[in-house]
Structure 1
């Protein structure tokens, strides 16, 4: 499929979720061959790969527990073997565990960091050698504006996302001389179908959120995918170590 990412191969984690799925579709539409990385969501991953293929793109579903170093290593090796060197990593997978501070145990803390920070480290560690060898790479992590805003009952999640921004800046400094850029996209309040299952009053939630934002509409996964596609492209070759907040102006600073 011709496009600005033609000839590149991307690995998108959490690719069957609301945001990850649209990112994978956008990168494929822009010409990249895409690995749809997931955890136990075979029907959705297969359906997404088939959808991309019918549209003229190239996609392959692969399963891995990104908290497991051996599983991450196997995922990356299989991806390289099937699609060639992966030179775009969209490190999107994560979890959003809500636990009040007074109930947060060391296990809760460790789980939140393993899922939302260490997994990103493991992926970058496995993929950067091939990027370094090719002289080209894009590492794009998906953070959260909550790393700057804070929120009740999300201590582990927010701490991990703040750490992810730091990891991304460190990678930018370490890897820039080899031709690799590293940037973080921090979504604001993005409207996804799963929201309805966890929000008691969606209309009231929409009203509160729009009052916080400069742009008076809810964000969509396509907004995040557009930012990722730009950072993956040659047009963003001189941008690294940045956090791009895609939040409608919710967090200004």
Structure 2
């Protein structure tokens, strides 16, 4: 495939989820070769790699527990061995654990931060030396508008996502002189199949969400993928340290 990312190699984490798979497909369509990182969803990762390959792109599935620093190191080495130096880190993987504040334990807190914040540190720290050597790189983290809005039962998740925005801004400061940009894409309410397993009444939830938004439709994974794809290009080379909300105008200001 040829496109604005031709010649670039990307590592997309959480690649088998609704957002991750859309991002991986879009980057491949734009010319990037893609490493599809997943935790324990090998068949879905293989199917996605096959879809991308049959569409003319290049993708390889790789498994890793991103909460483990050594596993992340191995993942990054494998991605390099298969695709060459990684130019684009799309740090998307995360989890959405719900615990009422009164029931939240230190273990719940630690797990939420390990999955939704510390893992992103491991990945960026492992990949930035090669980006620095190349004088070019893109780090794109996937946050959440809930870092601004807040919501009950999600103290660990939201605290981690707010921390992720801070980490991203710090990376922009630290790595800008090396030609590396760092930005966060913060989705709003995006319609993914997993929603049906955690929402009792999806239609009522959608009605409540549309009342919050300016754009009167649910967000789609492709909306997030388009924002990521733009930030990955040379055209976005003067944009860094930013949080781009893809939320239909839910959170303004």
Q: Do the structures match in fold with TM over 0.5?
A: yes
Q: Which runs of 5+ in 2 are unaligned?
A: none
- Aligned with 1:152: secondary structure? coil
Give the match for residue 32 of structure 2: 32
Deviations 1:5-51 (A, max 9, x none): 00000000000000100000000000000000001100000000000
Shift of 1:81: 1.0
Distance in 2, matches of 1:63 and 1:202, equals 32
Give the match for residue 57 of structure 1: 57
Give the match for residue 91 of structure 1: 91
Distance in 2, matches of 1:93 and 1:194, equals 14
Matched ranges for 1:1-253 at <5 A: 1-253=1-253
- Aligned with 1:90: secondary structure? strand
TM-score (norm 2): 1.00
- Aligned with 1:165: secondary structure? helix
TM-score (norm 1): 1.00
Shift of 1:90: 0.2
- Aligned with 1:121: secondary structure? helix
- Aligned with 2:37: secondary structure? strand
Distance in 1, matches of 2:153 and 2:65, equals 25
- Aligned with 1:40: secondary structure? coil
Deviations 1:95-120 (A, max 9, x none): 00000001111110000000000000
Shift of 1:235: 0.7
- Aligned pair count reads 253
Deviations 1:199-225 (A, max 9, x none): 111111110000000000000000000
Distance in 1, matches of 2:154 and 2:78, equals 34
Regions of 4+ moved over 3 Å: none
Aligned-residue RMSD, C-alpha: 0.3
Distance in 1, matches of 2:105 and 2:196, equals 28
Q: Which runs of 5+ in 1 are unaligned?
A: none
Distance in 1, matches of 2:113 and 2:174, equals 22
